[in-house]
Amino acid sequence: MKVEFAPLNIPLARRLQTAAVLQWVLSFLLLAEVCIGVLLLLIFYNYWFLYIPYLTWLYFDWHTPERGGRRSNWVRSWTVWRYFKDYFPIHLIKTGDLDPSHNYIFGFHPHGVLVAGAFGNFCTNYSDFTKLFPGFTAYLHILPIWFRCPLFREYLMSSGPVSVSKQSLCYVLSKEGGGNISVIVLGGAEESLDAHPGKCTLFIRRRKGFVKIALTHGAHLVPVFSFGENELFKQVSNPEGSWLRAVQDKLQKLMGFALPLFHARGIFQYSFGLMPYRKAIHTVVGQPIPVQQTLHPTSEQIEELHQKYMDELRKLFEEHKGKYGIPEHETLIFK
């Protein structure tokens, strides 16, 4: 394989963008394990005056990710996130106004490999979110397992993510007077295994829990499609029925998160590595779907709203795909 190296005269800003994304990728892949290792070393060498106070505090703080989290505007405003956003770059596009007297659920699609668009737009202060949606606070809901990692959970919560558990969603969407947005990557870990460049496969047909929660809380639904999300990485071929996909599916069911074998470019060369490609991400926020609060929705009501959501999601994709490089013949595949 021929290796294509990056030129030496790359501007400093682009070098800093690469460094920003590198630390984000490494944080996603390794920081949780490092934090667990640090805590185990403190216990092993009996630094009780460090680990006992932390574990005591952790016991009382355990449910914070289900109660709105603990975001830090200081962390969200770190300059590193501006370079992170500009690496791809990441754009947020609004197609309609939202009423700040209501709470909303943003259904984010597709998952991609590392959900860069969702993080860049909703977990940093360098996106256009506050300008486009004044008066709103966005909460990115992620797998609860990430908040079970000591030390790492504190760093994670500081950017704004919260648990995707039912209790967490109900907490965010119960705010009196509105103004909260729950951002849910509906395809979940399972969808990441189908995140191949050029593919538009979404795991949505069996995802109906968010619809029931929307009905019980009267939260309006908003489809969101992030064009370019699946173009950031390539994956080792894993078609359904292959031995690799069978192993990945089994591990996903056992551990709760998927293990896509992804690759893209490196730090100083463009041929291989775990750095994402520099591909623009355009996260398009669709029109809101009004939802009337129904404390005890029937299965028929859930099915009807779920179908309407899928119809609006498909409409959003079809209206905007031509602007962002999707061929006219390509369409969404719902699984």
**DSSP-derived secondary structure letter, 31:** I
Cβ–Cβ under 8 Å, residues 232 and 276: yes
The helix/strand/coil state of 260 is coil
Q: pLDDT value at position 19?
A: 97
Asked if residue 89 has a cis previous peptide bond (ω within 30° of 0), the answer is: yes
Pull the structure tokens for residue 303: 């099915």
- 272: Cα within 13 Å, side-chain hemisphere: 5
Say how far residue 212 (Cα) sits from the centre of its chain.
Answer: 21
Residue in the block written with tokens 């909703």: 122
Q: pLDDT value at position 5?
A: 79
Closest CA to 78 of 27, 112, 2: 27
Residue in the block written with tokens 């704004």: 160
Q: What is the pLDDT of residues 84-107, one digit of tens each?
A: 999 999 999 999 999 999 999 999
Average pLDDT per 10 consecutive residues for the chain, totaling 335 residues? 81 96 96 96 96 97 97 98 98 97 98 96 97 97 95 97 97 96 95 93 96 98 98 94 90 82 92 95 98 96 98 97 93 95
DSSP string, 263-315: E-B-SSBSSSSSBPP---EEEEE---B-----SS--HHHHHHHHHHHHHHHHH
pTM: 0.96
Residue 93 pairs in a beta bridge with 284
Asked if residue 110 has a cis previous peptide bond (ω within 30° of 0), the answer is: yes
Amino acid at site 135 = G
Q: pLDDT value at position 251?
A: 85
Tell whether the torsion through CA atoms of 206, 207, 209 and 214 is positive or negative: negative
Q: What is the pLDDT of residues 272-308, one digit of tens each?
A: 999 999 999 999 999 999 999 999 999 999 999 999 9
